[in-house]
Structure 1
Amino acid sequence: MKLEEHLKKYFNYTTFRTGQKEVISSILEGNHTIAMLPTGTGKSLCYQLSGYLLKGQVIIISPLLSLMQDQTEQLMMNGEKRVIAFNSFLTPQERKQALSQLNTYKFIFLSPEMLKSDFILNRLRELQIALFVIDEAHCISQWGYDFRPDYLKLGDFRRKLGNPLTLALTATATPEVKEELISSLSLKNWNEYIYSVDRPNIVLAVEVIDSYHDKSDRLVELVQNLEGPGIVYFSSKKMAEKMTIHLKQNGIDRVMAYHGGMEQENRVLIQQQFLHDQLDVICATSAFGMGINKENIRYVIHFHMPLQLESYLQEIGRAGRDGMKSIALLLYSPGDEQLPFQLAEGELPSEAQLDFVYHLLEEKNNSINDLGELENELISLSGLTEVQWRVVADYLFGNTKEPMQQRYVQLKVFINERLQVKRKKINDMLIWTQAQLNGCRRKNILKYFKEDKTIEIDDCCDQCGIDLTVFYPKTKNHKTADNFFDWKKHLAKILLVSERG
């Protein structure tokens, strides 16, 4: 049977998108595979279809709870019940039950941190692992934009699991990040499929706006006039909610806020309403969209400047997945870069927090190597966030062969280097917004990823010349079919399946 026939059987698609068939063929031939596919090309299908055609379980390592949950729900909506995501949405009883019957699942989603548990690792060893998938594989690189300490250990975890067939997936990785990825995973032989990050059907534009008030008014004007549906990205939950209210006050009713702090039921509800065209606009943080498979998003607006070009590409890549022309607009006001700098510094522990943790450990027992009950006390008293604590714990307790003082010095050096990387990423993003000094925006993004612009595109970017009115609709009528979609029944069905899964 041809791969296209399997594609039709399992997903009801007739053709593959860029790179999908090549990657799946490589996996089915038994090759470790690294794939860098553009956003919007359906990377998850690469392991899902491969999983159906291989005997055994598919283990997917995912860095974000929201992404993990989105992909789990998509599989369930496609009729797949043999899927489980080990995350905070599971109660202790549900987790215990799932682990006791792990071999009954086909697709198993895990965070990299969970692999540190000997119990879970031993349970995984009992399975017939058909494919070991590392999603968002750029998180492996210490100098990538979204480094996760436990991603660096995935090479060791692979070895402990018997070096299973491996697929590493990403949409945004510089050549340097890719090389570190290969080294970290200790891959001796592999196939790699590296495609351009460019999405030619997405028009790129930046508007420089003097003040916050003017920016708010401009956002209302854009949402009122642009052909939807669309996503507006913010750097804070508070601003996403505030601007949702502002849009509603200006006559835009079919809009909702979305962020990582929402209850699961509300999050799923908003996703479903957006997918079924009952909402025109989502005001979101970056938690929204990574696993959303909606093809007809016509615009993505950034109200705040992203922290780096990599995440900017990820987020604008939610637009135009049907291949139709779409637009990405970044609204920039002088000084906007200060917020990314603050956010970058907030992701890492401060020197004062590090000193506090270290001196507290000295008081307790300078040779302590096991966190035990001390962990909660350290987090509470130091004020460290979950993300900050992961970094501290990895350095101070991850390598117990070295003296605590030496680990502490290494941690300080690492944090300083990470801050320098993050500041450079923000400066690169800022320079890109000032494209009037550097020419074509698309060319500059490709240059950042060590690519050349090889094709000329109509409506390329604002620097090359675009007509924004092309993206204004001729009519504002909604589909009458929307009125007949029973989202309550649909949501209940999804949540019921999720509980049983």
Structure 2
Amino acid sequence: MHANAQYLQTLQQVFGFDGLRGGQQQVVEQVLAGHSSAAIFPTGSGKSLCYQLPALHLPHLTLVISPLLALMKDQLDFLKGKGIAAASIDSSLTYDESREVMRSVKAGETKILMISVERLKNERFRQFISSVPISLLVVDEAHCISEWGHNFRPDYLKLPAYRTQLNIPQVLLLTATATPQVIDDMRTKFSISPEDVVVTGFYRSNLDLNVLPCKEEEKPSALSHVIQQAPKDQPTIVYVTLQQTAEHVAANLSAKGIPAKAYHAGMASEDRQRIQNGFMRGDINCIVATIAFGMGVDKADIRSVIHYDLPKSIENYSQEIGRAGRDGQASVCSVLANRESVSVLENFVYGDTPDLNAIRAVIDEIGATPSGNAWEVMLNRLSRECNVRQLPLKTLLVYLELAGIIEPKFSYFADYRFKMSVSVDHVLSQFDGERRQFVDAVFRASPKSRTWHTVDFEALWQGYQA
């Protein structure tokens, strides 16, 4: 009871809450009792508090793995607003800023450190963090570790091994969406006892779910009708499957007097950020998006989520509609459905499943490397040559790494982008001879979108190999 009294006092004095919700108390007490746990709570149920509160009572650092920079920033702003010593190490920091964060972590001044899973690939960071005592590893969006999950990320598979290497005694897994199969997979990978898994259910009474049957050619008019029938300018997300559909649907809505912006992974990052910020501020009220728009969005007053195309799975659907009505107010979630669009989903499923010959081709490629030599690989080229999509290819390579068959030594940047602050001619004028020819070849192999040039290494290689 003494320990309970302590954390309840912290809950009130630091976080300003008089009590915990149902599942929160069970998870917090399990963590404080030294157990590894998993919390599967619906969106908006306060999963983050399940690690933030115990972190202030644990003796050492709490290390949080978060999949998105936007999620880290939101949680850091909240923690710093409560006077809690929290920090992140991410790509937005300068070298000096990263050094200062590492110093404060090493000195024990920082209680919570947030990183992406990719940060653990960095050998220098692993050497640093292995010298820091860690009380708790928190895996946010933990369903990403399961191949049965809807947002599977191969690098999450390495987390149990990293935990062992870093000698972290406890783990806390957090997610809003997980089937029994995914829960069992997550639990097994981290050796969490079934009694330490807390599932509070997924029902949210403020969401009105409905399916509107309509033929494919009727969808544009059905969508505009649904939006126009709702209160004017209410925050709305329209989910589509393909990037080109996002552009097309947004243009159609705008032509009908419904201001809408497309959002997808094919857009320049600064454009995506500008649109997301506009939506969060309320300057943009309708976003037509692929699933690229999602995990970093924590807007409380989204009143409508519309699936123009069928969601990829029940888990995807649950996560996507979970962005509606986080303020507890009534919100409507609609699906425009027909059988014709099922074939698109089937293509995604079958396209992500490599056949045995494709897997053998990857293994043969590795086996052809002479013993003792480094196997240098570019994922996009290997994916193309072996006919395996990049996600399953990364998964295969991670499993080979976990089996000790391959070991990463260093990595190349997969993409290089740049934007011009002066003209191309001005840059070229600074070089002569072969150097000028090479710089000119780089520019010619770097097509420009709206602002950024992206280097096409294949084109550069084909055009410049001598």
**TM-score computed with the length of structure 1 as normaliser:** 0.68
Gaps of 5+ in 2: 407-466
Partners of 1:76 and 1:83 within 8 A in 2 = yes
Compute the displacement of 1:157 (Å): 2.0
Question: Per the alignment, in what secondary structure is the counterpart of residue 336 of structure 1?
Answer: helix
Distance 1:174 1:76, change over 3 A: closer
Deviations 1:383-438 (A, max 9, x none): 75542331231244442469xxxxxxxxxxxxxxxxxxxxxxxxxxxxxxxxxxxx
Instruction: Find the counterpart in structure 2 of residue 36 from structure 1.
Output: 40
In structure 2, give the amino acid aligned to 1:201. Answer: N
Decide whether aligned partners of structure 1 residues 370 and 363 sit closer, same or farther in structure 2, where only a CA change above 3 A counts: closer
Q: Does 1:20 align with 2:24?
A: yes
CA RMSD in angstroms comes to: 3.4
Q: Which one of the candidate residues 213, 221, 224 is aligned to 1:217?
A: 221
Cα distance in 2 for partners of 1:177, 1:131 equals 22
CA distance in 2 between counterparts of 1:371 and 1:90 reads 32
1:238 corresponds to 2:270? no
Residue 339 of structure 2 is aligned to residue 328 of structure 1? no
From 296, 300, 303, the equivalent of 1:298 is 303
Q: Deviations over 1:150-199 (max 9, x none)?
A: 43332222222223332111222233332332221123696332111211
Partner of 1:208: 213
- Which of 151, 162, 168 is matched with 2:167 structurally? 162
Q: Show the counterpart of 2:75.
A: 75
User: Cα 1:28–1:147, aligned 2, differ >3 Å: closer, same or farther?
Assistant: same
Q: Tell me if 1:250 matches 2:280.
A: no
Structure 1 vs Structure 2: percent identity of aligned residues?
32
- 2:393: which partner in 1? 389
CA distance 1:96–1:238, shift in 2 (3 Å)? farther
Where do 1:114-263 residues align within 5 Å?
Answer: 114-187=119-192, 191-211=196-216, 213-227=217-231, 228-253=234-259, 255-263=260-268
8 Å Cα contact 2:27/2:198 also seen in 1: yes
Q: Return 9-18 or 228-237, whichever deviates more.
A: 9-18
- Per the alignment, in what secondary structure is the counterpart of residue 75 of structure 1? helix
What is the aligned partner in structure 1 of residue 430 from structure 2? Answer: none
Indicate the residue corresponding to 2:453 in structure 1: none
Deviation at 1:132, TM superposition (A): 0.7
- The structure having more radius of gyration, on CA atoms, is 2
Q: Aligned equivalents of 1:351 and 1:242: distance in 2?
A: 38
Q: Distance in 2 between matches of 1:375 and 1:386?
A: 7
Equivalent-residue separation in structure 1 for 2:348 and 2:354 (angstroms): 12
Question: Secondary structure of the equivalent of 1:335?
Answer: helix
List aligned pairs for 1:38-77, cutoff 5 A.
38-62=42-66, 64=67, 68-77=68-77
Residues of 1 paired with 2:10 and 2:177: CA distance?
Answer: 28
Q: 1:379 to 1:143 in 2, by over 3 A?
A: closer
Shift of 1:312: 0.7
Instruction: Give the letter for the 1:33 counterpart.
Output: S
Deviation at 1:90, TM superposition (A): 6.3
Offset, 1:112: 3.6
Q: Deviations over 1:36-61 (max 9, x none)?
A: 10123232333234334545432222
Note the alpha carbon deviations across 1:76-120, whole angstroms, 9 max, x for none.
443738422546x66889768866765465443334454355443
Asked if the contact 2:138/2:174 (under 8 Å) is kept, the reply is: yes
- Identify the structure with bigger relative contact order (alpha carbons < 8 Å, sequence gap 6+): 1
Instruction: Indicate how the Cα distance of structure 1 residues 4 and 303 shifts in structure 2: closer, same or farther if over 3 A, else same.
Output: farther
CA distance in 1 between counterparts of 2:93 and 2:126 reads 18
Q: CA 1:193–1:72 in 2, change beyond 3 Å: closer, same or farther?
A: same
Confirm or deny that 1:311 pairs with 2:316: yes
Corresponding residue for 2:424? none
Q: Could you tell me whether the CA contact under 8 Å between 2:219 and 2:336 is conserved in 1? A: yes
What is the DSSP-based 3-state SS (H/G/I as helix, E as strand, rest coil) of the residue aligned with 1:83? Answer: strand
Classify the secondary structure of the residue corresponding to 2:333: strand
CA deviation after TM superposition for structure 1 residue 256, in Å:
2.2
Name the CA distance, whole Å, in 1 between partners of 2:341 and 2:375. 40
Distance 2:268 2:93 in 1: 13
Corresponding residue number in structure 1 for 2:403: 399
Counterpart of 2:382, as a letter, is L
Q: In 2 relative to 1, CA 216–146 (structure 1 residues): closer, same or farther, beyond 3 Å?
A: same
Q: How many angstroms apart in 2 are the aligned matches of 1:49 and 1:269?
A: 33
